[in-house]
Structure formats: structure tokens, C-alpha cells
Amino acid sequence: MSNPWNEIRLEDYENHMKLDCVRQLQSLNGMMKEQFEAYPVSTAAVLGVAGGNGLEHVDPGKYSTVYGIDINADYLKAAAGRYPRLEGILKCRQVDLAEETETLPQAELVIADLLIEYIGYPVFQKVIRQMAPLYVSCVIQINTDKKNWVSDSPYLHVFDGLDEIHHQMDEITLTNIMEETGYEKILMKKEDLPNGKALVRVDYRKK
């Protein structure tokens, strides 16, 4: 079965995410600035990098390598094209996390924003064990409306196929999974969004 993310155009995804009634693109951008600045690392990997939102906050004076990982080759092409100043630092790799975990590189910091929802906890555990980061910074979406986890917009039906792979997230379960994997929680921040949704950033450090 083809992954539904391969069927969603980047333009539709980003246009939906930046609508005033959604505001996830803008919120994530600010969160990623903090994620890139937070820890004393020189290598990072962004899982589900899409078109590269937030990569403008990569400091070439700090980072020697930033991996952009995504299942969609078109997304990766767009991300690489948007940030020519990161040439030699940004390394884009097409990886199906559920099927090709063993091909993932190691990195000191793993950023996984709105990603775990689409691969599930067990696959994320496997990913973290393979990549062996010192720090993991995650952003998950919390929904008060359990039926409509995608915000209403003109692009709503673009995401219909994601119902097949979407998992509801919560911080407690994620933290338990990370504890099992050998990581302790060191930060939690919440940012409210329109439509009864919120983004929750949770960071972990290797024990």
C-alpha cells in the first residue's frame, strides 16, 4: 500500500497549515527555532521535514550536519531548493520510517514534529534506538475534538487518506515509551491553536 503522504501535494499541505484558522505552520516555525537552539549539539535530524519549514533557523556556525528525512521525494526536493545557504550541511534523505529504519543516520538531536502521529509509538521507538540521539524533541497535536483531528479548511479532503495511518497522541504515553527507550523528560511546553487544538512540545535526554 502506498503511503498517503506520497499523494498529498506540498502546496496543499502548506496552504492548509498556514491558514489563520489552523496556524500550525507558523507555530511550528517558532517552536523549531527553539528546538535548534536548545542543546549543545552539532548534528540534528528532522523527521518528516516536508518542505523544510523551520530550517531557516539552522545556524551554520553551530551545525555541521542536519538531516532532512521524509517519505515524499517531492517534499525533499523543495526543502533542498529553498535553503541554498545550507549546502553541505542539509542532507535530505528519502526514508519510509516504518520499513527502512536501519538506513537512518545517527544524530545528536532528533526533531520529530507532528510525525509520531503517522508512524505510531512502536516505530518511533525503533527509530530512536537506531539513531541513538542525545536529545529528542517532539511536537504532538492534542485534540479536544476526537472526531475531527484535521482542522476544517478548503483543503480538508486532501488529507482524507491519512485516517488510515493516524494515531491519537498523548504526552503521558509518549513519555512512558521514551522512558522504556532510555530517555528522561526534561521539558514540556504547550501552545494553543484555533479550533480546540494545541501543540505540545516534549523534550527528552538520554539517561
What does the pLDDT look like over 75-101, one tens digit per residue?
999 999 999 999 999 999 999 999 999
H or E element, residue 69: strand 65-70
What is the pTM assigned to this prediction?
0.90
Tell me how far CA of residue 80 lies from CA of 15, 46, 73, 136, in angstroms.
Answer: 19, 13, 11, 23
pLDDT per residue over 152-193, tens digit each?
A: 444 455 666 566 757 788 999 999 999 999 999 999 999 988
- Sign of the Cα torsion 12, 89, 29, 31 reads positive
For the chain, domain boundaries: 4-206
Query: 138 phi and psi, to 5 degrees?
Result: -120, 145
CATH code: domain 4-206 is 3.40.50.150
